[in-house]
Amino acid sequence: MRRFIPLVVLTLFGCDIAANAPFSSRPTASQTLLDARGGFETTIVKSGEHFGPPNSPVGTELELIEYPSPVGRLAAYVTIDPGDGEKHPAIVWITGGDNNSIGDVWSPQDRSNDQSVRAFREAGVVVMFPSQRGGNDNPGKREGFYGEVDDILAATEHLSQLPYVDAEQIYLGGHSTGGTLAMLVGACSDRYRAIFSLGPVAVASQYGGDYVYCDPNDQDEMRLRSPRYWLHCVKNPMYVIEGAENGNWDGAVEVMAAENSNPNIHFLKVSGHDHFSVIAPLAEKLANQIMRQEVHVTQQTVRDLQ
């Protein structure tokens, strides 16, 4: 079974190593990420670790399902139908580390690093944790922040069709590598009511060669995997949030914040929290806002987390 918490730690470590790595050059023409992807064929040169099939969840909150994607049927965990006959708001949540695979998101976790985002489920938000191509025992090859964009969009479509989900109230979120992927998905789609990216990087090279399966020296490949270049494409509210301590703010999130001119994107630094401890209190705030249909993350919101 995939144990994603240690892998998330490795992600942060990789980001720290590469935090001062030079950024590749900007695109020479103003274009959307969708346009740039449309005429491009990625070349995959390596594969990731094989974790095997995902385990069935323990308890009565989540079930293991499959959703159709461009490369075949992929595994996901999703909140079980509460059976109340109502349609509920929902969020697609992308875990950190090797997020192509999914693992235990049902066991109790310490508040200092709660990767399960249990607060959403406890508040009544339907949560979907999608695996992606090449992860677990899924078809396809890992591409690292590229084809996975299409998998997340396919997962979102599947989620929207569930009879207990309000298709007009679907959100997207992710932590660490999941936050980076969430930003790229948000640059390709206006499907979501809001997007929450916790602790992403600005460019894929900041992972020091991890989680990217193309040639890391190919600037065209890496540019299409790097949120920094596509901030202008985001059409829906996007909140990029990171703890002030031992995280990816310095040299990554702050770079995007300084360059951003898109009013749809909000960059927020949370004092008193690190890359991991920010997850639980933020999920609690967001869950309550989603249930009230009043999502608006401000400086006051993050001050309340301290």
Taking only the tens place, the pLDDT of each residue in 58-110 is 999 999 999 999 999 999 999 999 999 999 999 999 999 999 999 999 999 99
Sorting pLDDT into bands at 50, 70 and 90, what band is 26? low
**Tokens, residue 79:** 């909140």
DSSP SS3 for 153: helix
241, 270 in Cβ contact below 8 A?
Answer: yes
- pLDDT score at 39: 87
Q: Where are the domains of the chain?
A: 4-23+32-303
Residue 21 has pLDDT above 70, yes or no: no
- pLDDT score at 1: 39
**Burial of 81 by CB count in 10 Å (0-12 exposed, 13-18 middle, 19+ buried)?**
middle
Average pLDDT (279-302) is 95
Angle at 290 between CA 262 and CA 81, to 5 degrees: 130
Of 153, 151, 128, 127, give the one whose Cα is nearest residue 139: 151
Sorting pLDDT into bands at 50, 70 and 90, what band is 23? very low
113, β-bridge pairs: none
What span, in angstroms and rounded, lies between the C-alpha atoms of 81 and 112? 29
Sorting pLDDT into bands at 50, 70 and 90, what band is 7? very low
- Please provide the CATH number assigned to the domain covering 4-23+32-303: 3.40.50.1820
Residue 18 has pLDDT above 80, yes or no: no
187, 264 in Cβ contact below 8 A?
Answer: no
What span, in angstroms and rounded, lies between the C-alpha atoms of 253 and 228? 9
pLDDT per residue as tens digits for the range 179-194: 999 999 999 999 999 9
Residue 239 has pLDDT above 80, yes or no: yes
What span, in angstroms and rounded, lies between the C-alpha atoms of 148 and 90? 20
What span, in angstroms and rounded, lies between the C-alpha atoms of 225 and 270? 26
